[in-house]
């Protein structure tokens, strides 16, 4: 069980053979690495599932390997996107092994041991989140990292200090950890060492990221959206060939904007950033990092509040409408995007 989708294992992977599983997408959502939040977003699970399946099929048309096997229809059959008569929230996938880094405390700090990842390891998840950035909208983590001195504009490939809302001449290719208690940005050289990648594999990862970015750009353009940034996850198959896994192109993996308004779960993030709970989360993360505490959540003494009901409804409409627009198929009964954006701006 994950924070936003569950996994049903039909056949476990072995060392040298992929397994089979099914993602069951829920209406749950998560922000700031917290896990399940107190609300449900109606229609979100089906919208993510349908958008992700459509994107996987478009990638496969371009020769990109993925772990996608198909969608499960109301009769339990595994079918392609166009064969589905009504929205589904169940996707069948190939499974690989997940090797979690060990944790040790050194000099009062939590350290992760990635020694299990070697250049010969196969049929496994790569323990990284691979990120593209076509623009730097308000709320992008890049600004926080720049302000804290964790990265420089030059290290990001920029020749100037960026402004919020800026579109980039070429994408920033970013990378963070995936299997730690909270995601941690690393350099590509660090990522290479953590994941046991050869130099040529790093180049291949970056090339694959750009292919995914370009595909999503095309879908976003058709929908009248701007593809600001997004993430993908990758795995090695039993022959140590790269393939795209998890899910791609959805409002949970990508940050889209429409007329400068966020069309993603960033809307929920912005709501929570104004709460005292968010301040407690940030304090807990800082304390955990300083004192080498693995589970920072136990330091947070308050629970996240519920979303305002009107905002919850707007976010629900956004998920369903965006699925319609990105796939070019009206699967959900939801208003057009300009209408939802207008409602949000009037109310919030």
Q: What are phi and psi of 158, to 5 degrees?
A: -100, 150
Q: How big is the CA angle at 258 (ends 257 and 264), to the nearest 5 degrees?
A: 40
pLDDT tens digits, one per residue of 294-306: 889 999 999 999 9
211 and 204 Cβ atoms separated by less than 8 Å: no
Which range (21-35, 95-109, 123-137) has the least confidence?
Answer: 95-109
- pLDDT for residue 290 is more than 90: no
Mean pLDDT of the residues in the chain: 94
Q: Going by C-beta distance under 8 Å and a sequence separation of 6 or more, which residues neighbour residue 332? A: 43, 46, 47, 87, 320, 321, 323, 324
Let me know: does 195 contact 127? Beta carbons within 8 Å.
Answer: yes
Q: What is the mean pLDDT of residues 12-26?
A: 97
- Residue 312 pLDDT exceeds 80: yes
Distance, in Å, from the CA atom of 72 to the CA atom of 84, rounded to the nearest integer, reads 8
Q: What is the pLDDT of residue 1?
A: 61
Question: Is residue 291 within 8 Å of 324, Cβ to Cβ?
Answer: no
- State the pLDDT at residue 151: 93
pLDDT at residue 348 in the model: 85
Q: Are 121 and 196 in contact (CB under 8 A)?
A: yes
Q: Which of 246, 248, 239, 237 is nearest to 96 (CA)?
A: 237
What is the per-residue pLDDT across 45-85, written as a single tens digit (0 to 9) for each? 999 999 999 999 999 999 999 999 999 999 999 999 999 99
- The number of residues in the chain equals 348
- For residue 2, pLDDT over 80 is answered with no
* Domain spanning 5-347: CATH superfamily: ATP-grasp fold, B domain (3.30.470.20)
Confidence label for 293 from pLDDT (cuts 50, 70 and 90):
confident
**pLDDT per position as a tens digit, 147-184:** 999 999 999 989 999 999 999 999 999 999 999 988 89
Cβ-in-10-Å burial (0-12, 13-18, 19+) of 232 comes to: buried
The answer to whether 191 touches 197, Cβ cutoff 8 Å, is yes
pLDDT at 116 over 70: yes
| Distance separating alpha carbons of residues 258 and 262, to the nearest angstrom | 7
Residue 332 scores a pLDDT above 70: yes
Which residues, including other chains, have CB under 8 Å from residue 308's CB and lie 6 or more apart?
271
The predicted model gives 324-345 an average pLDDT of 94
Tokens 């600001």 map to which residue?
228
Which residues neighbour 16 within 8 Å (Cβ) at sequence distance 6 or greater? 122, 123, 238
The mean per-residue pLDDT over the stretch 200-221 comes to: 98
Closest CA to 256 of 332, 158, 322: 322
Tell which wins on pLDDT, 211 or 262: 211
Q: Residue 39 and residue 219: Cα distance in Å, rounded?
A: 29
Share of the chain above pLDDT 70, in %: 100
Q: What pLDDT, on the 0 to 100 scale, is given for residue 282?
A: 94
For position 104, what pLDDT does the model report?
86
């Amino acid at each position: 069980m994950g924070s936003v989708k569950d996994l049903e294992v039909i056949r476990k992977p072995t060392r040298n053979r992929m397994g089979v599983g099914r993602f069951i997408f829920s209406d749950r959502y998560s922000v700031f690495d917290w896990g399940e939040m107190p609300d449900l977003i109606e229609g979100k699970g089906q919208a993510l599932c349908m958008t992700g399946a459509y994107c996987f099929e478009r990638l496969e048309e371009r020769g990109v390997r993925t772990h996608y096997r198909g969608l499960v229809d109301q009769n339990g059959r595994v079918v392609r996107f166009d064969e589905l008569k009504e929205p589904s929230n169940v996707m069948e996938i190939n499974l690989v092994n997940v090797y979690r880094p060990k944790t040790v405390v050194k000099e009062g700090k939590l350290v992760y041991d990635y020694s299990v990842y070697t250049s010969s390891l196969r049929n496994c998840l790569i323990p990284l989140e691979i990120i593209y950035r076509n623009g730097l909208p308000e709320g992008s983590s890049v600004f926080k990292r720049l302000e804290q001195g964790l990265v420089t504009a030059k290290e990001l490939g920029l020749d100037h200090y960026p402004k919020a809302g800026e579109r980039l001449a070429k994408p920033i290719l970013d990378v963070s950890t995936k299997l730690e208690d909270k995601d941690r940005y690393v350099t590509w050289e660090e990522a290479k060492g953590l994941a046991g990648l050869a130099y040529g594999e790093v180049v291949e990862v970056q090339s694959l990221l750009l292919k995914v970015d370009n595909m999503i750009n095309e879908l976003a353009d058709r929908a009248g959206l701007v593809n600001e940034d997004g993430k993908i996850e990758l795995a090695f198959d039993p022959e140590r060939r790269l393939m795209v896994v998890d899910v791609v192109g959805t409002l949970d993996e990508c940050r889209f904007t429409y007329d400068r308004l966020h069309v993603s779960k960033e809307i929920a993030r912005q709501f929570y950033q104004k709460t005292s709970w968010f301040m407690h989360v940030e304090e807990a993360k800082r304390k955990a990092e300083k004192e080498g505490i693995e589970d920072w959540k136990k330091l947070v003494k308050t629970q996240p509040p519920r979303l305002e009901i009107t905002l919850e409804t707007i976010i629900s409409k956004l998920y369903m409408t965006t699925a319609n627009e990105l796939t070019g198929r009206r699967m959900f009964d939801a208003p057009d995007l300009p209408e939802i954006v207008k409602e949000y701006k009037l109310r919030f």
